[in-house]
Structure 1
Amino acid sequence: MPAFRHYLSLALSLAPLPAFAAPLTDLAAIDRAVAAFTGQQIGVPGGAAQPVDRRLRLVACNAPLALSWYGNAQTSVLVRCPDAGGWRVFVPVSAERAVPTVAPAVMAVARGEGVTVMVSGAGFSVSQPGEALDAGAVGAWIRVKTAAKADPLRARVVRPGLVELPVD
């Protein structure tokens, strides 16, 4: 009988252990965070072009997600987990232009209008003149051109004549 216990013990020690899956990030939460960041829903101009790929298996993030624009033309949102060794995902933004569905009277900025482009972050704010390349209501993301940048930037309309490029 002792030999049987020895072999049983040996067999159990060599048997593969069940894999314990680490908790994963809720991909729908990333979609919601991007929609809140851009101010537009998935598939809507200015919002994510499509949902985050559901095949991704991202380790759960213990800190709040960090979102920022990626690239000078701001055609993608960088979503990252600030945890040590965290992951990052680039979410493309839909560049299609929709026909405005609101009355022109509620537009805060008109196409071709001179605007103040404000860049703000934690503890600082700078501004420069620019030109609106799109019309937009308060809260909408529009393209603007400044003398300092050859490529248009995407900025959020704050109020008539003022657009903002938030920096995290």
Structure 2
Amino acid sequence: MIALRHAALLALTLAPMPAVAAPLTDLAAIDRAVAAFTGQQIGVPGGAAQPVDRRLRLAACAAPLALSWYGNAQTSVLVRCPDAGGWRVFVPVSADRVASTAAPAAMAVMRGEGVTVMVAGDGFSVSQPGEALDAGAVGNWIRVRTAAKADPLRARVVRPGLVELPVD
């Protein structure tokens, strides 16, 4: 009887455990985040050249995705999961964007406009509302004022309505 119990316990411990599906990141959410970041839809000049590859299996990200331009010519958007051990994906931007950046830069933020001020670093991002004290094109540094800080801060224009204070 004892040998039978040991055999049953041994069989249970050696039996394969059922696979538990780990939660995955919604790839359509990445597409929406890139569209919001660039201000353009997929396939439109200045937007993602194509949707994120649906074969990707990326672990779910507890923190909000961090997006930034990649490369001097801004030909890709870097999408990162800032969680510890997170992932990163490079999303190519429509080639028409490169041609459009050769033209004089249009102002993405106007003086007096309400903007979102984002502080981003390795593994985190925090944002709050603010006011642009200068006009600027994407990539320009402008002065902004937040409700929490009376003194103006210098921030880089990321896209219309969004400025960033990078923390390295």
Q: Percent identity?
A: 71
- Deviations for 1:57-91, whole angstroms, at most 9, x for unmatched residues? 11111111000000000000000011111111000
Counterpart in the other structure of 2:141: 119
Give the match's secondary structure for 1:89: strand
Q: How far is 1:49 from its partner?
A: 0.6
- The yes-or-no answer on 1:18 pairing with 2:18 is yes
Give the match's secondary structure for 1:4: helix
Distance 2:87 2:143 in 1: 23
Aligned-residue RMSD, C-alpha? 3.1
- Provide TM-score, normalisation by structure 1: 0.62
Counterpart in the other structure of 2:116: none
Q: How far is 1:113 from its partner?
A: 8.3
Opposite residue 141 of structure 2, the aligned amino acid is V
Unaligned runs of 5+ in 1: 98-110, 128-154, 159-163
Unaligned runs of 5+ in 2: 98-102, 108-135, 145-152
Q: How does 1:23-38 map to 2 (within 5 A)?
A: 23-38=23-38
The alignment covers a number of residue pairs equal to 123
Larger Rg: 1
Q: Is the 8 A contact 2:155 2:164 kept in 1?
A: no
- Provide TM-score, normalisation by structure 2: 0.62
Distance 2:46 2:106 in 1: 21
Q: How far is 1:19 from its partner?
A: 1.9
- The yes-or-no answer on 1:90 pairing with 2:112 is no
